[in-house]
Amino acid sequence: MSIKVFAINPGSTSTKIGLFEDDKCLLSKNVAHDAAELEKFPDMPAQLPYRRDTILQLLADNGFSLDDVDVFVGRGGGLFTVEGGVYEIDDLILEHARTCANGVIHPASLGPQLAHEFAQKYGKPAYVVNPPDTEELQDLARMTGIKGVYRTVHLHALNLKETAIQHSKKVLGKKYEECNYVVCHIGGGISISAHREGRMVDGYDIVGGEGPMTPTRCGSVSIYDLLDYMEREGKSIKEVRSLCTRNGGFVNHLGISDAIELTKRAEEGDKYAAMLWNTMIYQIEKGIGAMAAVLHGKVDGILLGGGMVYNKDLVNQITESCGFIAPVTAYPGEFEMEAMAAGAIRAVNGEEKLKKYSGKKVFEKFDFA
């Protein structure tokens, strides 16, 4: 029996929607929301009816109905850290999404709320799949050299884990839980992660400034050098924080965030642009090597996803430098909607057990500390 899934992924001024029947996409749209209209709402939860009605109108305009949808799935923003998996949306998830319990005010927190709205209307279940704060670090990856400061990670968990799940099934003929991978998402943000037997045991905190530089992020920088930079340039903490997410990387150097424009400049002889491009790739390669060491060299594959993976030079450089570790496979582009739908289908089919959201962080501190 086929399974129909409706996936919802809210962004700042639009909401991505996808209607799937098994692995076939029936409809994929980016529902635009008028910025001036959104500004009228006092907070994020207040946008819910407007976004819902805009989605329903677009579906009607395209001749689609949700009457026969079997399950709804929304991006799981606002939640505390969780282990990867599929979670049924309950009252606690809704409360934490509405209040952005994790302190991150982002439209993704509307994902569970919208999915719940539709599920209630049509009498079907609603899930979240590998939400943004998925965190499965091994203990050795948590400790730092400062007492009371522990590592956490912010990664493209949904894409990373789904890439590994699908590669295991379709290429190796195995379960994700039987394999080890280094998985990268290389786009506006760059995630590099180590996956051991179905768990993402290490990776870089890309929101906190770890990992490679990206088009808009500074990546790892010596703390001493950063403090010296703040003193020398008179930069505030707020300004430096923005280097981690919006104003670092290519933007900080050349004022551009488009990797295509950067590589075009490099091809035309711009040595500065070429150095930035090759430095980013070099840092990605270093990160892959580090994650391979986390896995003690037992790596079944190096998997590359994200928009920049369409660039053949990037893939060729990484393959040349890291191919000795394991086969390198490129999966260019992003497939968050497909990943959400696939997770929901696995849960409905019983291939993946539904999990219950505890409302508590995966990790606070070590008992001995």
Q: Which of 361, 349, 348, 360 is nearest to 88 (CA)?
A: 348
> In 3-state terms, what secondary structure has residue 330?
strand
Domain boundaries, the chain: 4-134+337-349, 139-334
pLDDT tens per residue across span 268-285: 999 999 999 999 999 999
Joined together, the tokens standing for residue 282 give 């070099």
CB contact at 8 A, 274 and 245:
no
Superfamily per CATH, domain 4-134+337-349: ATPase, nucleotide binding domain (3.30.420.40)
Joined together, the tokens standing for residue 273 give 């642009």
Residue 35: the pLDDT is 85
Joined together, the tokens standing for residue 214 give 């990206």
Joined together, the tokens standing for residue 326 give 């394991």
Per-residue pLDDT of the chain (369 residues; tens, 9 = 90+): 899 999 999 998 899 999 999 999 999 999 999 888 899 999 999 999 999 999 999 999 999 999 999 999 999 999 999 999 999 999 999 999 999 999 988 899 999 999 999 999 999 999 999 999 999 999 999 999 999 999 999 999 999 999 999 999 999 999 999 999 999 999 989 999 999 999 999 999 998 999 999 999 999 999 999 999 999 999 999 999 999 989 999 999 999 999 999 999 999 999 999 999 999 999 999 999 999 999 999 999 999 999 999 999 999 999 999 999 999 999 999 899 999 999 999 999 999 999 999 999 999 999 987
Residue 34: the pLDDT is 86
Residue 334: the pLDDT is 87
Superfamily per CATH, domain 139-334: ATPase, nucleotide binding domain (3.30.420.40)
Residue 104: the pLDDT is 86
Q: Which of 292, 295, 331, 296 is nearest to 168 (CA)?
A: 331
Q: How many helical (H) and strand (E) elements, i.e. helices and strands, does the chain have?
A: 12, 11
Instruction: Answer whether 0.85 is exceeded by the pTM.
Output: yes
Q: Which of 270, 345, 299 is nearest to 71 (CA)?
A: 345
